Structure 1
């Protein structure tokens, strides 16, 4: 298990987290690939990807612990990144584009002009058939990923900066400043609203019906989506919380928080005693101003142990997924979409991630896009 976090100081941190009698966090690597602050991070079973204000997406192979390359498609700060399993990555940026990437060859299958303003957030339905996005044009847009087209546009009264599907895909939430609107999938109507005192900076589903919400303060609050009541709140940090991540491991519900105070903390949430304060498992001080957070879970050993049992039960699901992929490939790899393919680039350098907890001295670095332009000028 690896805790990965980005910061204003342009560094990606990696910390190996190991459960024992008490959880331990060991510095694993730091990497300085971007020339501006990191704005987004996403993980799947093999890769970690980061987005930055330098307009690039960097890819890290966590199995080999090397930098895998860079994706150049957006003209603007990368605002959101999300994987769908091991096959696709969706990225959104301030240029209003949503790009769909094949994670096998890392090519841009489709570049969609999603919003007239910035794309502020996106979320993929657990089925992989739908995605939602919100932007600064005050719209919520539903995307049909099977046919690769817009399915529905909903006008909002104000800009939303976060959107998130519940794990079961039965509901989704949008965040507008300090308000969380809860929608049901079948009716696409608001079933409840949660209002906080401070602007909401991050939100995560702990279960299908429980939300962990962080505002621009030190407090984490847990809410019920059904009753919209606050179930629990606790002081997590000494400064505002910037991001939350949650996952379940061996029956434990773990919440990971990152703050502007530089700390990453792991908490154990007991759902049977939800009103109680979660217990602190471990913490680590990065000494940096953190901006984004994710947890890379190496599921390979677990998958190997359960592979024989899983083959039969998952065959039907795999057939359905393959049919979806075939349909989407026909549309997303349309030969007429030459612009996306021309602008896509994987940098060939594959370098190992650096030793941990050393923030490099600030120096002027060229982005991959600047290097590309310089090479074109020289050849001309």
Structure 2
């Protein structure tokens, strides 16, 4: 399927703010670039340091101090200063009506008088903002992972809006595409990649929102982009019926293959050993050697799809949201299976039900649970879905771990129906896209440079501030020196407002 000259290359790569508050809609659309972002000229792009794209600890030289920034999720889990799982979560959904919905989710253990249980896990969704974010339909939304604070929204108005979720503020608009924004993804807290109908992909640095690279190669609209868990490689599919691979270390395309059909969604598995390409109602599962392992023919047209490894299970599952008004849970080949196995095809083991119209988008997130004297559960994996029926659902995937174990060696599987644990009704809004973001997190307090806790923060509030923020302040210092007196005045006013709020 792929040019032999590119296969070895592919395999080796795989191995190896200050504008409107979110509570209030902006009076007019902000069309300017974010401060500090250079114009995307070919000259400026050629001078961009590509080492900034590497998902490994890098050094920030400002003020002569070295600071390590953790890019990969696997590295973050090994760093005790970074939370493993958030205690709360945020659900952000976009819509055809240009509205952006923000919900905060939390969990608690309580007694159930009906069943007599004293260990019932309950989920609660509370709206925190609802406002018109664009002048046209919102098509995609993404949140920075692992305690990050950024939210990016893409629209048919060809603008990427960037928001600070912690301060609930709009940072600005990125206007580097000449077509509708089709896909947004944060491969790390410090990088954002976008895809557009103009046939290009853009890689941004989230410190100053500079364009590190504009990736060209598709001959038509790009429908979806997915970054490998290592952060070094990305895949994209589009209307030109090709699958393209991008080396993010060098900022260029390294391989492409004709699919013979228009790929609508591409996704990597959580361990990076598999990827899928979805078209209409079919799903093709590939390994990293570009061998087709399985083809799933779903009973209805698919709208969104994602891999997930629920808490308590070593096996991955495939979540498929479609026009049949439910999310189907498929088993997937093991990461050690490098050859097609027609005798062990993917099976549906569960269905997430409750929606009355087609599923438009799905997302998963692992969260920490509050302590309970009668429960040994410390964490769980949740899935959120949005539908054309205007409802946002949250499902608890904890019980799926036992279902995945039972499917091994079984030719017949009883499909289990799972009801949502929390529902929010937007009253008829046509929801289009979804993102899950970390909320309150558990980590060691961040100590300021003078050895004291940051002013106005409790231990819990300190825990949500990561070293990343201090690094951002250092790098922005050089940009602030070049700002005008008027901009410095805006900075002072903003600091005064934040001090009053604290």
TM range (shorter): 0.7 to 0.9
Asked if the contact 2:215/2:251 (under 8 Å) is kept, the reply is no
Q: What is the deviation of 1:253?
A: 2.0
Distance in 2 between residues matched to 1:248 and 1:137, nearest whole Å: 36
Distance in 2 between residues matched to 1:305 and 1:189, nearest whole Å: 47
Distance in 1 between residues matched to 2:284 and 2:316, nearest whole Å: 13
Counterpart selection for 2:138 from 35, 38, 42: 38
Distance in 1 between residues matched to 2:211 and 2:131, nearest whole Å: 25
Corresponding position of 2:279: 176
> Are residue 282 (structure 1) and residue 411 (structure 2) matched?
no
Distance in 1 between residues matched to 2:416 and 2:445, nearest whole Å: 35
What SS does the aligned partner of 1:142 have? Answer: strand
Corresponding position of 1:52: 155
RMSD, aligned α-carbons? 2.2
Asked if the contact 2:215/2:253 (under 8 Å) is kept, the reply is no
Distance in 1 between residues matched to 2:446 and 2:273, nearest whole Å: 28
Distance in 2 between residues matched to 1:263 and 1:305, nearest whole Å: 37
CA-to-partner distance for each residue in 1:190-217, whole Å, 9 max, x for gaps? 1111111211100011226210101122
Corresponding position of 2:216: 113
Asked if the contact 1:131/1:142 (under 8 Å) is kept, the reply is yes
Distance in 2 between residues matched to 1:54 and 1:197, nearest whole Å: 34
Corresponding position of 2:444: 304
Corresponding position of 1:225: 332
Corresponding position of 2:473: none
Asked if the contact 1:222/1:231 (under 8 Å) is kept, the reply is yes
Query: 1:141-180 counterparts in 2 under 5 A?
Result: 141-180=244-283
Report the structure number with the largest CA radius of gyration. 2
Q: What is the deviation of 1:234?
A: 4.0
Corresponding position of 1:18: 106
Corresponding position of 2:357: 239
What SS does the aligned partner of 2:167 have? Answer: coil
> Are residue 215 (structure 1) and residue 322 (structure 2) matched?
yes
The TM-score normalised by the length of structure 1 is 0.78
Structure 2: unaligned runs, 5 residues or longer = 1-88, 110-121, 310-314, 334-344, 369-378, 404-414, 448-489, 495-502
Structure 1: unaligned runs, 5 residues or longer = 308-348, 353-380
Distance in 2 between residues matched to 1:36 and 1:86, nearest whole Å: 27
Select the structure that is richer in strand. Answer: 1
Counterpart selection for 1:259 from 378, 387, 391: 387
Corresponding position of 2:97: 9
CA-to-partner distance for each residue in 1:222-259, whole Å, 9 max, x for gaps? 00112311112243300111011112223312111100
Corresponding position of 2:60: none
Q: What is the deviation of 1:30?
A: 1.4
Corresponding position of 1:271: 400
Q: What is the deviation of 1:31?
A: 2.5
Distance in 1 between residues matched to 2:266 and 2:446, nearest whole Å: 33
Relative contact order (alpha carbons < 8 A, sep ≥ 6): 1 or 2 greater?
A: 1
Distance in 2 between residues matched to 1:36 and 1:289, nearest whole Å: 13
What SS does the aligned partner of 2:444 have? Answer: helix
CA-to-partner distance for each residue in 1:323-377, whole Å, 9 max, x for gaps? xxxxxxxxxxxxxxxxxxxxxxxxxx99x9xxxxxxxxxxxxxxxxxxxxxxxxx
Distance in 1 between residues matched to 2:101 and 2:262, nearest whole Å: 31
> Are residue 202 (structure 1) and residue 343 (structure 2) matched?
no
Asked if the contact 1:220/1:236 (under 8 Å) is kept, the reply is no
Distance in 1 between residues matched to 2:385 and 2:201, nearest whole Å: 27
> Are residue 65 (structure 1) and residue 193 (structure 2) matched?
no
CA-to-partner distance for each residue in 1:103-149, whole Å, 9 max, x for gaps? 00011111122310100000001111100000100100011111111
Asked if the contact 1:192/1:225 (under 8 Å) is kept, the reply is no
For the structure 1 residues 296 and 139, does the alpha-carbon distance in structure 2 shift closer, same or farther, using more than 3 Å as the test? Answer: same
The TM-score normalised by the length of structure 2 is 0.59
CA-to-partner distance for each residue in 1:148-189, whole Å, 9 max, x for gaps? 11111010110000000111111100001111110111x111
Distance in 1 between residues matched to 2:316 and 2:296, nearest whole Å: 13
> Are residue 83 (structure 1) and residue 186 (structure 2) matched?
yes
Asked if the contact 2:353/2:417 (under 8 Å) is kept, the reply is no
Distance in 2 between residues matched to 1:161 and 1:53, nearest whole Å: 17
Q: What is the deviation of 1:281?
A: 1.3
The range that moved more, 12-21 or 255-264, is: 12-21
Distance in 1 between residues matched to 2:227 and 2:352, nearest whole Å: 30
CA-to-partner distance for each residue in 1:51-101, whole Å, 9 max, x for gaps? 000000001101111111110011111000001211210000000010010
